[in-house]
Structure 1
Amino acid sequence: MAVTQRRGRRIMMTPGELDEFLTTQRTCRVATVSADGAPHVSTLWFAWDGKSLWLYSITRSKRWADLRRDPRVAVVVDTGEEYDELRGVELSGTVEFIGEAPRTGEPHPELDSVEPLFARKNFNLPEMPHDGRHAWLRLTPTATTSWDFRKLAAG
């Protein structure tokens, strides 16, 4: 069950705005918990399929090791330079590992639409290039918080 945003309703994105934002943005920051309890933040490209955020992570990364041990994650996607331009979303929940790790391109129905989406968005290619180093993480958020400070000027 997804948590509903309680604060900042004046500047929160509508579902349509949120979908458009996540579809068009390219870079996110992924926060994990390290083995010693310290936070770890790293940057990744992502794809949004309308309900889940898909991350293509290096399997020998600290991020991957953290998530294998504790799959809880928070992800931030944001943009803007000036205060009245700031927009973003924080998605949190538990990641699922989808497909083989590392990914070699074996048929996997859950990835049939995601891989071309990610390849077009991030590589301008019709299909996913597999390098034997990455694998898929899916975050279907249980909590979402968004903001669009442009609404302050409009309101």
Structure 2
Amino acid sequence: MSATQRRGRKIMMSPAELDEFLATERTCRVATVSADGAPHASTLWFAWDGTSLWLYSITRSKRWADLRRDPRIAVVVDAGVEYGELRGAELSGRVEFVGEVPRTGEPCPELDAVERIFARKNFGLDEMPHDGRHAWARLTPESIASWDFRKLGGS
């Protein structure tokens, strides 16, 4: 991660807090760049391995087509309802595609750990079910900005 968060240091998550947050949250909002240059936002489940955010996307989606053409991406993971409990992170950079497209479960050692994480977190399973409709994109963030309004005290 090359960029350091400058603004909002008081509410910024520590590396351990950020890691725990990304490891436990399930849903992210993904922003891609459409063919006409317009932004496109969508929601996905994800896995965090401590270094990279892994997105398991339907390969026939607008999001997948956007990323294949232009791998730039911004992702927001957030939680909280009341102002004083809002927290989240924005991760941005470029995705890399890992494994076969679409994913059918062919051996891919690079996906072993992340598929275990994803299957346990989202399905309560020990092995990843493959439907031949999804594939993996990995975002190793170039920058991360985080916030945790609970650090402000009160609500």
TM-score between both structures, scaled by the size of structure 1? 0.98
What is the number of equivalent residue pairs in this alignment? 154
Alignment-derived partner of residue 57 in structure 2? 57
Please report how far the alpha carbon of residue 2 of structure 1 lies from its aligned counterpart in structure 2 after TM superposition.
Answer: 1.9
Q: What whole-Å deviation, never above 9, does each CA across 1:83-102 have from its counterpart, x for those lacking one?
A: 10000000000000000000
What letter corresponds to residue 125 of structure 2 in structure 1? Answer: L
Please give the residue correspondences for 1:3-152 in structure 2 after superposition, counting only pairs within 5 Å.
Answer: 3-152=3-152
TM-score between both structures, scaled by the size of structure 2? 0.98
**Root-mean-square deviation (Å):** 0.8
SS in 2 for 1:4: coil
Q: Distance in 1 between matches of 2:47 and 2:2?
A: 20
Q: What whole-Å deviation, never above 9, does each CA across 1:103-136 have from its counterpart, x for those lacking one?
A: 0100011101111110000011110000000000
Percent identity of paired positions between Structure 1 and Structure 2: 81
Q: What whole-Å deviation, never above 9, does each CA across 1:50-77 have from its counterpart, x for those lacking one?
A: 0000010000000000000000000000
* Runs ≥4 residues deviating over 4 A: none
What letter corresponds to residue 58 of structure 1 in structure 2? Answer: I
Q: Distance in 2 between matches of 1:112 and 1:37?
A: 35
Q: Distance in 1 between matches of 2:10 and 2:114?
A: 33
SS in 1 for 2:120: helix
